[in-house]
Chains A and B, each alone.
Chain A
Amino acid sequence: MSKPVVATASLAGCFGCHMSVLDIDERILTLIDLVEFNKSPINDIKNFTKECDIGIIEGGCCNSENVENLRLFRKHCKVLISLGECAIMGGLPAMRNGIPVKECLEEAYLNCPTVDDGMIPNDDELPMILDRVYPLHEIVKIDYYLPGCPPRADLIWNALVALLEGKPLDLPYEVVKFD
């Protein structure tokens, strides 16, 4: 039987959740035995080369590229997991929500005290910034949520093992935290 395939991505995140995946310590050797990784920053596979069983996404959606990437994951993954506060509620980037994009850009690129002769970036290569940062579940259907900033390594491990073995998820009090 072929191994379950896992893909991961960091959208508007800081890669802290991916670090927390690595924080499962030596269990990562077991993980490599249990699953095969496809598109992921961990192995640097840039594009989906096959359909995946589990997609793990860190970070919310702050620009058009994030949205495209997220929809691609939904299309190619049977199960999609929202990993971490940013994926679930937007997190730190969402502190700009409620402030008009124009005001944010002007503050960052024109009026900031360290800016000298600034300009607002406007290149075709750059993805368009969204009106606000969206949690993943407001854009596509999400199957599971693993909160935390970052989510505890044990939470990620328990969730993966439960999914792979088809057993109920073990959620001890200490592993579900929002910070």
Chain B
Amino acid sequence: MSEIKITIDGKECTAKAGQTIVEAARANGIFIPTLCHFDGLKPAGACRICTVRVGGRNMAACTTPVAGGMIVENDTPEINDMRKSIIEMLFVEGNHMCPVCEKSGNCELQALAYRYLMLAPRFPYLWPRRGVDASIPKLYKDGNRCIQCLRCVRGITIDGKKVFGLINRGGKVRISHDPKLSASLDDEQAQRAMDLCPVGALIRKEVGYAVPIGKRKYDDRPIGSEVEGA
């Protein structure tokens, strides 16, 4: 593959043709926050937390391929404030009760809120009335915590068929599931679904709270520190 030179935040970076900006940045030790993006899944560009500025325009870094000579602005006060706003909006448009959530400490939305130092959202809470669906034998699905990132929709398939899907449109979008297919999920697949979910919307039944506070993924190290090598 041919090598391409790009600049991110003033740093000269080498990227491969066909890489997205997120992938290229990561390969060069630069963290661009992502939420709906997951390695190995087709990028969706759903959450816009990875928004960067290229040539004066905002672009989703997880879906935009690199091009020679690209100058990318990533870690600027304006972009970071916009990212913080997205996190705040995600917090107010669902019912995110961190103290009672099993994913707390391992939650990517929460970890991003820590990284961008969200002490309280600047927007009014919406308190949508969403239910918990416990009809899947191995998982329960908590709509209160769902941020519609579509990771489970893209990532969980059985014999090439999607287990999760979307219903409704716009602000009313919800994650649905195929009753038959979801009933055949085994423990391993259920664990993968829970790991795919960046928040606590998919939680395994009958197991949990295995890792104590203080030992969880984001207790000591901010999200992105693994990329930055800090």
Contact = CB atoms under 8 A, between A and B. Distances in A.
Interface of A: 82, 85, 88-92, 94-95, 97-99, 132, 135, 137-138, 142, 144-147, 149, 171, 173-174, 176-179
B117 A176 contact: yes
B117 A179 contact: no
Contact of A85 (B99, B121, B130, B219): B99
12 contacts: A82-B120, A89-B96, A89-B125, A92-B97, A92-B99, A97-B95, A98-B129, A135-B120, A135-B125, A137-B120, A174-B219, A176-B119
Interface of B: 91, 95-101, 104-105, 110, 113-114, 117, 119-121, 124-125, 127-130, 213, 219-222
B83 to A, nearest CB: 17
Contacts of B127: 94, 97-98, 132
A70 to B, nearest CB: 15
A24 to B, nearest CB: 19
A54 to B, nearest CB: 17
B128 A98 contact: yes
A102 B96 CA distance: 24
Nearest to B128: A98
Contacts of B117: 171, 176
Nearest to B127: A97
B114 A173 contact: yes
Nearest to A90: B125
A42 B120 CA distance: 26
Contacts of A89: 91, 96, 120-121, 125
Contacts of B96: 89
B220 A147 contact: no
Given A97-B127, A132-B127, 9 more contacts: A82-B120, A94-B97, A95-B97, A135-B125, A138-B124, A142-B120, A147-B119, A174-B219, A179-B98
Contact of A179 (B105, B119, B124, B130): B105
A98 B104 CA distance: 23
A99 B120 contact: no
A173 B114 CA distance: 8
B97 A91 contact: yes
Task: Pick the 4 closest A-B CB pairs, nearest first.
Answer: A149-B99, A178-B98, A98-B129, A145-B119
B20 to A, nearest CB: 28
Contacts of A95: 95, 97, 100
A176 to B, nearest CB: 6
B95 A173 contact: no
A87 B80 CA distance: 26
Contacts of B121: 89
Contacts of B221: 173
A146 B119 CA distance: 7
Q: Considering residues A89, A137, A149, which has the most beta carbons from chain B within 10 angstroms of its beta carbon? A: A89
Contacts of A149: 98-99
Nearest to A16: B99
A135 to B, nearest CB: 7
